[in-house]
């Protein structure tokens, strides 16, 4: 499983799990693992503990982690990034499990019209963006916060943060019966700019809406190595630009000064300069230099208001530094709410947060304004 499915070196797994190399070799050769060793391996591989007891190991049909081995972008990144992707996948799976246990059904993703296959990928993405804007009743108005829009109008999509490294993929998406639909956004690299992060979120949203057939599992990772992947990425980029700013707005900017046109996309519609530059060139024949002009620089640096509007909910300012980033935000909130309702015991809540039972998870409940169970208060 480690070699064939996830392409991981045994040294990497030993390091991230804390299992000594010789002991890990022994387990892979047939020695019985301890429960703790199984839990650490299961978390690293993104599967249930029970799965690792099986011989041979068999993943359930429709499990998205089986798709990772066929995704070239996954094989192209380094071992550490692969492990982080798998841990994000585990967090997404735990989130789905908790939501089902809570009995709070989430609405499915909207079904959008199939784009014309004769159109270019850019045009396909544009038509999907138009359809979604119409479905959500957005008109041609700017989206103040894409984070809030997805949370409030598309609550079936879980947005999870994860440290995928400064050079790691900007985002990825999971969609299957076990762990999705979910978007994982890299909290490092270019995504540290909130304008880039909202573009990345829109990009991954397109993959969930257009590339998932609702039957087979989907895993999308930003970037492309194949012709098919190139078309998918072009479609998602076209969708992201046009969802953030409708084409009709861009077409009206053909007759204004180039820098003023760019300012509208950047300042009013929240696009980063690179995306705005390409969008204006392709749709309005407005040609801007690769480096932003001096007059635009005050608008390019994200202000505090945008940073706050697009900050990942529940990630920044999280009260327990030892909780992994992918287990903060929506995952952490769902965990403590399940604990508050008595659906899971305290030690299970701590484990799902990625900490030991002695950690002050009560601080997490307070952070999300969630009541602590009466039994915990009494003790």
Average the pLDDT over 160-174 and give the result.
93
Domain with CATH 1.10.10.2910 in the chain: 102-245
Q: So what's the pLDDT on residue 192?
A: 93
Q: Say if residue 85's pLDDT is above 60.
A: yes
| Alpha carbon 58 to chain centroid, angstroms | 26
Average the pLDDT over 243-247 and give the result.
96
Q: Say if residue 228's pLDDT is above 80.
A: no
Q: Say if residue 379's pLDDT is above 80.
A: no
pLDDT band at 378 (very low <50, low <70, confident <90, very high): very low
* Mean pLDDT across the chain: 89
pLDDT band at 39 (very low <50, low <70, confident <90, very high): confident
Domain with CATH 1.10.260 in the chain: 1-58
For the chain, give the secondary structure using H, E and C. CCCCCCCCCHHHHHHHHCCCHHHHHHHHCCCCCCHHHHHHHHHHHCCCHHHHHCCCCCCCCCCCHHHHCCCHHHHHCCHHHHHHHHHHHHHHHHHHHHHHHHCCCCCCCCCCCCCCCCCCHHHHHHHHHHHHHHHHCCCCCCCCCHHHHHHHHCCCCEEEEECCCCCCCCEEEEECCCCCCEEEEECCHHHHCHHHHHHHHHHHHHHHHHHCCCCCCEEEECCCCCHHHHHHHHHHHHHHHHHHCCHHHHHHHHHCCHHHHHHHHHHHCCCCHHHHHHHHHHHHCCCCCCCCCHHHHHHHCCCHHHHHHHCCCCCCCCCCCCCCHHHCHHHHHHHHHHHHCCCCCHHHHHHHHCCCCCCCHHHHHHHCCCCCCHHHHHC
Q: So what's the pLDDT on residue 226?
A: 56
Q: Say if residue 78's pLDDT is above 80.
A: yes
Q: So what's the pLDDT on residue 45?
A: 84
Q: So what's the pLDDT on residue 54?
A: 76
Q: Say if residue 376's pLDDT is above 60.
A: no
The architecture that CATH gives domain 1-58 is Orthogonal Bundle (1.10)
Average the pLDDT over 171-186 and give the result.
90
pLDDT band at 225 (very low <50, low <70, confident <90, very high): low
pTM over 0.85: yes
Average the pLDDT over 197-223 and give the result.
91
Average the pLDDT over 349-363 and give the result.
93
Q: So what's the pLDDT on residue 163?
A: 94
> The CATH number of 102-245 is which of 3.40.50.10490, 3.40.50.880, 1.10.3720.10, 1.10.10.2910?
1.10.10.2910
Q: So what's the pLDDT on residue 227?
A: 55
pLDDT, one tens digit per residue, over 135-148 is 999 999 999 999 99
Q: So what's the pLDDT on residue 235?
A: 93
pLDDT band at 68 (very low <50, low <70, confident <90, very high): confident
- For residues 59 and 201, the model is more confident at 201
pLDDT band at 377 (very low <50, low <70, confident <90, very high): very low
pLDDT, one tens digit per residue, over 300-337 is 887 888 999 999 999 989 999 999 999 999 999 999 99
């Amino acid at each position: 499983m480690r070699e064939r499915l996830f392409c991981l070196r045994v040294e990497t797994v030993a390091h991230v799990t804390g299992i000594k190399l010789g002991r890990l070799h022994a387990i892979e050769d047939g020695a019985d693992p301890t429960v703790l060793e199984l839990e650490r391996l299961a978390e690293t591989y993104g599967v249930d503990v029970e799965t690792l007891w099986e011989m041979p190991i068999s993943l359930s049909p429709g499990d998205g982690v089986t798709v990772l081995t066929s995704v070239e972008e996954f094989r192209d990144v380094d071992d550490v990034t692969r492990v982080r992707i798998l841990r994000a996948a585990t967090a997404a799976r735990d989130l789905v499990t908790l939501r089902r246990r809570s009995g709070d059904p989430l609405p499915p993703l909207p079904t959008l019209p199939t784009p014309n296959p004769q159109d270019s990928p850019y045009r396909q993405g544009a038509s999907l963006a138009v359809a979604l804007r119409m479905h959500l009743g957005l008109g041609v108005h700017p989206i103040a916060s894409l984070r809030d829009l997805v949370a409030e109008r598309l609550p079936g999509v879980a947005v999870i943060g994860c440290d995928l490294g400064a050079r790691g993929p900007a985002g990825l998406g999971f969609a299957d019966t076990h762990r999705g639909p979910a978007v994982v956004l890299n909290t490092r690299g270019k995504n540290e700019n909130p304008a880039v992060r909202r573009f990345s979120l829109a990009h991954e949203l397109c993959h969930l809406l257009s590339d998932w057939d609702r039957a087979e599992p989907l895993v999308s990772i930003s970037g492309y190595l194949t012709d098919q992947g190139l078309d998918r990425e072009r479609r998602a980029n076209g969708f992201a630009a046009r969802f953030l700013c409708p084409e009709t707005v861009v077409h009206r900017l053909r007759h204004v000064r180039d820098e003023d046109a760019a300012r509208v996309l950047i300042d009013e519609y929240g696009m980063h300069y690179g995306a705005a530059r390409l969008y204006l060139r392709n749709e309005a024949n407005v040609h801007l230099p690769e480096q932003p002009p001096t007059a635009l620089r005050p608008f390019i640096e994200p202000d505090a208001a945008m940073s706050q509007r697009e900050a990942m909910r529940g990630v920044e300012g999280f009260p327990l530094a030892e909780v992994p980033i992918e287990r903060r935000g929506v995952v952490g909130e769902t965990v403590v709410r399940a604990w508050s309702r008595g659906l899971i015991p305290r030690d299970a809540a701590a484990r799902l947060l990625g900490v030991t039972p002695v950690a002050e998870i009560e601080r997490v409940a307070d952070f999300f304004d969630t009541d602590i169970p009466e039994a915990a208060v009494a003790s």
